[in-house]
Chain A
């Protein structure tokens, strides 16, 4: 068997929090293991409780947070201990984040096109400014925007949905092997939401990019995921083929989740 693209091996993360008197330990992630294959791109979905460790998992995969137990390997690199500059660059090139809140993901004082140009020149193929502009425009067009719309604008000058699309375009610019998308569609309308998740599918099928898709939206999870894990309080309570799990969840928490989905078809639950 070939080496997987990503391997999480009994990964845990404990945070210490609180004042002098009440120092508490929070086990954000407990003993998490899974792999993503190198030879077959897939969409791997994580759903679960708010505060169940989804973002912490994402941040560990991205090398932003170090695990307190277990290990993470990406393409032969130990993510918990990236040392040399060359390794770090190779890693940052290959693994791209899309964060939960696009308003937090960008520096409010920096124009958006400058991020894109920087990424195009640093990780992408661009050798000069003209090339960087062309690549940035191409990436923006994949997400339904254009450079003309983003040029010279600051993050607060775009709507939430526009900003999230810029974040995705930026991730595409470095030709990654893995995208870690933490609630990427929560701020966009249903039509765009489908456009973005369909884009994820195309990235998987046409470019062979694997995607870790963290979401609260069970309907899009159902429509694009290959495998799924459901987390509660730092632990995986159910895992498997996404359609099978979502269509007929087994664990009581997964069932509760499935039942709490508000759909236009069910009788009004919160009406006056």
Chain B
């Protein structure tokens, strides 16, 4: 065991049932950069720089990693929410329910329209403010979900009320304007919107940050049960490692625009291999534990001018000469456990 902590007893991969099934999402060497001009100086922020992974049917895939490591940009690229200055520079994003297109960004509007809400829904980071401030909450539900769910106005409303109860919201919120709700209520409204049509694929970026732990547990339970009911897939981003530990089946860790490690979630906690992940898992604060936590030395990589080779090398305690020279490839170091690190996979770069 190489990790400093052993939180779970090592088990065989939990996602046993999901392991065998086919990918619903296939992300292949995707690169998405921000190209900006400031005062005549052009800058290219390589926020996502060559990420490859699959999300299978019937699984919750988690993403964690440093702030500004590119999680939201990756998620936006997958969800097709690409606006200048963001550009897809290379690679592809394939959904099984949308064959023939290398990503939502490259599909015609009618096709995107067809899959939105029904097949794919997306809860954006900080999305409490996407609710239209001028309209009552019920109108937003009518705009997005009614045509997919059908039924009379009364039936539709009953369905919405029942769904809101699953995220512990009172039907009265339907008559409210967004500014009349607390942040946590708005956040639950957006989650309810994203899940009411029971889509095949749910993409959620920090969807429960404004919720107290009790409500959060209910909301996550709701997401899990909808996912299981439908055998659907969820791509879930959060900084809360406790949430990952309990909810996600597999977990990918990002650093500096790249995926650096991926494994069944319990294994990330019991046996982290990449030095950044080892640090991340070891730094988690705990109630009742008074030992001071160090923050990582040095600063996050500047993605407009990233370090050469392994992007973690300026901060890595294990860095070797090769690390500054060669990008470590993502290698399956253990079954189902991929890592991009020269120390873990000596000789793999050849």
Contacts and interface: CB of A to CB of B under 8 A. Distances in A.
Interface stretch (B98-106, B181-189, B330-338, B341-349): B181-189
B90 interface: no
B179 to A, nearest CB: 10
A246 interface: yes
Contacts, number: 194
B184 to A, nearest CB: 3
A261 B217 CA distance: 8
B62 to A, nearest CB: 12
Q: How large is the interface on A (under 10, 10 to 19, 20 to 34, 35 or more residues)?
A: 35 or more
Contacts of B242: 261-264
Contacts of A270: 217, 220-221, 224, 246-247
Nearest to A51: B182
Contact of B269 (A17, A100, A264): A264
A246 B288 CA distance: 8
A176 to B, nearest CB: 23
Given A152-B38, A223-B285, A22 B126 contact: no
Which of B58, B181, B209, B247 has the most chain A CB within a 10 Å cutoff? B209
Contacts of B220: 270
B217 A262 contact: yes
Nearest to B247: A270
Contact of B182 (A50, A149, A192): A50
A63 interface: no
Given A103-B126, A160-B126, A187 B184 contact: no
A77 interface: no
Contact of B128 (A17, A101, A162, A269): A101
Contacts of A223: 285, 290, 293
Interface in B31-79: 34, 36, 38-39, 58-60, 64-68, 72
Contacts of B152: none
A128 interface: no
Contact of B66 (A55, A152, A189, A247): A189
Contacts of B243: 262
B72 A247 contact: no
A89 interface: no
Given A18-B176, A270-B247, A257 B214 contact: yes
Interface residues of B, number: 74
Nearest to A49: B212
Interface string A145-161: 00001011100011111
Interface stretch (A3-11, A80-88, A193-201, A202-210): A193-201
B214 A100 contact: no
B320 interface: no
Contacts of A103: 125-126, 129
A190 interface: yes
Interface in B281-335: 281, 283-288, 290, 293, 295-296, 299-300, 302
B212 A188 contact: no
A251 to B, nearest CB: 13
- Greatest chain A CB density within 10 A among B8, B184, B212 is at B212
A261 B287 contact: yes
A261 B67 contact: no
A141 to B, nearest CB: 10
B175 A191 contact: no
A135 to B, nearest CB: 20
Contacts of A192: 66-67, 295
Contacts of A188: 67, 239
A187 B206 contact: yes
A265 interface: yes
B210 interface: yes
Given A101-B183, A187-B125, A260 B286 contact: no
B263 to A, nearest CB: 14
14 contacts: A18-B176, A50-B188, A50-B215, A101-B210, A103-B125, A157-B34, A192-B66, A192-B295, A216-B210, A216-B211, A216-B216, A223-B285, A257-B214, A262-B246
